[in-house]
Amino acid sequence: MVAAHELGTSRRPDRQLAVVIGAGGLGTAVARRLGQHHRVLVVDLDGERAKAVARALCEEGGDAEPFTCDITRPEAVAELADEVRRRGGVRVLAHVAGLSPAAGDFDRIMRVNLTGPALVARALLPLASTGAAAIVIASLASHTFRPDADVEALLKEPQDLRTAERVAVALEPEQRTGAMAYQISKYGLLSLCRREAQAWGERGARIVSLSPGLIATPMGAIEFERSPIKREFYARTPLAREGTMLEIADAVEFLASDAASFISGTDLLVDGGLAGALRGD
């Protein structure tokens, strides 16, 4: 039964739930877009940030609530699943949170960018309604890189808390950088979605990854300062600009919608043509 409307609020208990993981630049744009037609649960490690985003969406007439969760901790993810269950299940999971190559060490980036999304996808799968969609934000980096076979084999258990350490051990010490963790973790997200599509499909639900190219975000701007390769990529992007957060929200909205109802277990590049240019066909 649908909960009662609350007078004087923009609460919409009749709407289905979108869970947005990450209340940073891109996460906020995605939450705002999904909030047009869903109740939104805004999830972040930084509870104040999640609260601020949920408050802003409510002030605009949306129905949003914050939830604090460290996606790298199974107990915290289990609490998130309990919260989603109390709210009647999930129609859209948009997993946006991730650390840039310079935002942590090898272990932290592997855990936030790969272990976390894998734990969240597993925990919310039993709560996915028929027609639900999970969209996992990966990166162009996953298309420009392929790990060695031994590392690739380890990525088949992304939700295992020991995977980050096992991958580190399989690499040479000088390879254990933030940049390498970023590439490996984002590569792992693509194979995660391909693999998990079977289980999501059994519930009549879908899971896809979305790989942004260069996107104008506060995090992206910092990376421009730190990473010369980003300038080269910028110069080689066929559309000759960065994408905007709104363009990523457009793609998430499409993938979440019934217009994408036969799209699962695959990746959508939203990169202005950069990956194709880098292949040099």
Ligand X SMILES: NC(=O)c1ccc[n+]([C@@H]2O[C@H](COP(=O)([O-])OP(=O)(O)OC[C@H]3O[C@@H](n4cnc5c(N)ncnc54)[C@H](O)[C@@H]3O)[C@@H](O)[C@H]2O)c1
- Binding residues (CB under 6 A) for ligand X: these are 22-27, 44-46, 49, 69-72, 96-98, 100, 112, 116, 137, 139, 212, 214-215, 217-220
Name which of 11 and 30 has its Cβ closer to ligand X.
30
Name which of 42 and 151 has its Cβ closer to ligand X.
42
Helix, strand, coil in percent for the chain, rounding step 5: 50, 15, 35
Least distance (Å) between residue 135 CB and ligand X: 12
Residue nearest to ligand X (CB): 24
Least distance (Å) between residue 204 CB and ligand X: 27
Name which of 11 and 28 has its Cβ closer to ligand X.
28
Least distance (Å) between residue 183 CB and ligand X: 11
**Spatial distance between the Cα atoms of 184 and 152, rounded to a whole number of angstroms:** 9
Least distance (Å) between residue 36 CB and ligand X: 19
Burial of 213 (0-12, 13-18, 19+ CB in 10 A): buried
Distances (CA, A) of 22 to 140, 171, 261: 19, 29, 25
Name which of 90 and 112 has its Cβ closer to ligand X.
112
Evaluate whether 248 touches 31 at the Cβ level (below 8 Å): no
Least distance (Å) between residue 87 CB and ligand X: 18
Q: Is 9 helix (H, G, I), strand (E, B) or coil?
A: coil
Amino acid identity of 261? Answer: S
Name which of 71 and 255 has its Cβ closer to ligand X.
71
